């Protein structure tokens, strides 16, 4: 396993391979993927017991099964759940309490015990690296579209070309929606267009991108805006949303501070603002099944070995990636 201290370099630590207890399985971890949440954690900005094993995402195969486990067998390819205690339904503090990598050891290790109830079947057509990108980013995008009931003919705005935004693009297109993609890079927008984006908006050259969304939609606005910027983008997201539409707040890339929003617009337009913190195990399973049906592949721009975690985090800090950063575990 690889241990981390608060903001300290990662260090390798050899431990005996554990045996699963009742209701548990042992997973041989093959890959993980880096999220902004993991970056913040590795920088020492998330409280919890230190040192600990980081990373919330994982894919691998079951190598041992404890008693009282139903539905899983040795050799099954599986994915981790971001909230292993949130099995289904609406979120509660108790259900969301455990987050691997935060309050308990995460998945940057070769073997990890986990409750069988918290595992998700990996899509057969995806590699381990691709499957590992689904835990956080894939489930977050799926939950945002589910909250807004996105379907055929709807309009979705995806901000930027990070993991959540590109998953939102791919899921929205699979549901028959129109997607407006924003980015500050024409090259990244071109990649989004190759993934199916219908309209491209460069917010460097069009800073009032919410007006462009209104123009594209004949002043109606978007059914859903997937907001990753938080404080820096939330006001424009509200202004870009249609009456009775939804703004899904899924990130804080623009900072952790307060956001100025047009309150009168939100009120008069009946705009719904909802925070999304990934989703339940049931949501993750539905999302993974949808990926299997759609047959698409997550976009991975960088792959590193687990001994290259420092370089992986530098790449994310520099915003040098598109889609996901995958980390292979030998």
Examine the domain organization and report whether 98 and 173 are in the same domain. Answer: no
On whether residue 287 sits in a domain, the answer given is no
Looking at the fold, whether 153 and 200 belong to one and the same domain comes out as: yes
Q: How many domains does the chain have?
A: 2
> Quick one: 96 and 9 in the same domain?
yes
- 85 and 29, same structural domain? yes
44: in domain: yes
Whether 143 and 113 map to the same domain: the answer is: no
Q: How far apart are the first and last CA of the chain?
A: 11
Per the document, the length of the chain is 330
Q: Does 263 fall in a domain?
A: yes
187 and 245 assigned to the same domain? yes
Residue 220 lies in a domain: yes
Distance CA 207, CA 218 (A): 19
Q: Which pTM was predicted?
A: 0.95
Q: Which domain holds residue 26?
A: 2-133+298-328
Is residue 221 in a domain? Answer: yes
With respect to residue 126, please indicate whether it lies within any of the assigned structural domains.
Answer: yes
Q: Provide the CATH number for the domain around residue 88.
A: 3.90.180.10
Distance CA 65, CA 70 (A): 10
pLDDT in tens, 128-186: 999 999 999 999 999 999 999 999 999 999 999 999 999 999 999 999 999 999 999 99
Helices (H), 63-185: 128-132, 139-147, 163-174
CA dist 232 and 259 (Å) reads 7
CA within 13 Å, CB half, 124: 1
Residues 6+ apart with CB under 8 A from 30: 59, 60, 61, 128, 129, 132, 328, 329
- Per the domain annotation, does 293 fall within a domain? no
Tens of pLDDT along the chain (330 residues)? 676 677 777 888 889 999 999 999 999 999 999 999 999 888 888 888 888 999 999 999 999 999 999 999 999 999 999 999 999 999 999 999 999 999 889 999 999 999 999 999 999 999 999 999 999 999 999 999 999 999 999 999 999 999 999 999 999 999 999 999 999 999 999 999 999 999 999 999 999 999 999 999 999 999 999 999 888 899 999 999 999 999 999 987 766 667 788 888 888 899 999 999 999 999 999 999 999 999 999 999 999 999 999 999 999 999 889 999 999 999
- Do 270 and 302 have their domain in common? no
Residue 292 lies in a domain: no
Residue 258 DSSP SS3: coil
Q: Are residues 123 and 146 in the same domain?
A: no
Q: Are residues 103 and 155 in the same domain?
A: no
In degrees rounded to 5, what are phi and psi of residue 287?
Answer: -65, -45
* pLDDT score for 296: 96
265 and 310, same domain (yes or no): no
Write the DSSP symbol of residue 137.
Answer: I
Q: What is the pLDDT of residue 141?
A: 98
**Rounded to whole angstroms, how far apart are CA atoms 295 and 126?**
9
H-only helix segments in the chain:
36-42, 128-132, 139-147, 163-174, 186-194, 209-216, 234-240, 263-268, 281-294, 309-317
CATH number at residue 240: 3.40.50.720
Strands 178-183 and 155-159: parallel
> Could you tell me if 76 and 15 lie in one domain?
yes
Same-domain status, 251 and 157: yes
State the Cα–Cα distance between residues 247 and 8, nearest whole angstrom. Answer: 36
């Amino acid at each position: 396993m690889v241990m981390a201290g608060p903001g300290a370099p990662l260090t390798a630590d050899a431990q005996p391979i554990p045996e699963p207890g009742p209701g548990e399985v042992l997973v041989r971890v093959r890959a993980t993927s880096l999220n902004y949440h993991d970056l913040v954690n590795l920088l020492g900005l998330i409280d919890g017991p230190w040192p600990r094993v980081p990373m919330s995402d994982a894919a691998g195969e079951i190598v041992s099964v404890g008693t009282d486990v139903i539905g899983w067998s040795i050799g099954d390819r599986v994915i981790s759940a971001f909230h292993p205690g949130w099995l289904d339904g609406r979120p509660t503090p108790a259900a969301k309490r455990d987050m691997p990598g935060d309050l308990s050891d995460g998945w940057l290790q070769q073997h990890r015990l986990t409750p069988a109830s918290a595992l998700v079947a990996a899509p057969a057509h995806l590699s381990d690296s691709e499957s590992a990108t689904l835990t956080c980013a894939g489930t977050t995008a799926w939950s945002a579209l589910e909250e807004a009931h996105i379907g055929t003919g709807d309009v979705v705005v995806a901000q930027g070309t990070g993991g959540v935004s590109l998953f939102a693009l791919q899921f929205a297109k699979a549901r028959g929606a129109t997607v407006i993609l924003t980015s500050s890079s024409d090259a990244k927008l071109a990649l989004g267009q190759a993934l199916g984006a219908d309209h491209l908006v460069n917010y460097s050259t069009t800073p009032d991108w919410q007006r462009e969304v209104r123009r594209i939609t004949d002043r109606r606005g978007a059914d859903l805006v997937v907001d990753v910027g938080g404080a820096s983008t939330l006001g424009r997201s509200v202004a870009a949303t249609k009456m009775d539409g939804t703004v899904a707040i899924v990130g804080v890339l623009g900072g952790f501070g307060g956001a100025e929003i047009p309150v009168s617009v939100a009120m008069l337009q009946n705009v719904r603002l909802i925070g999304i913190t990934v989703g339940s195990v049931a949501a993750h399973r539905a999302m993974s099944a949808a990926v299997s049906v759609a047959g698409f592949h997550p976009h991975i721009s960088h792959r590193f070995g687990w001994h290259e975690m420092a370089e992986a985090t530098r790449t994310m800090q520099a915003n040098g990636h598109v889609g996901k950063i995958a980390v292979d575990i030998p």
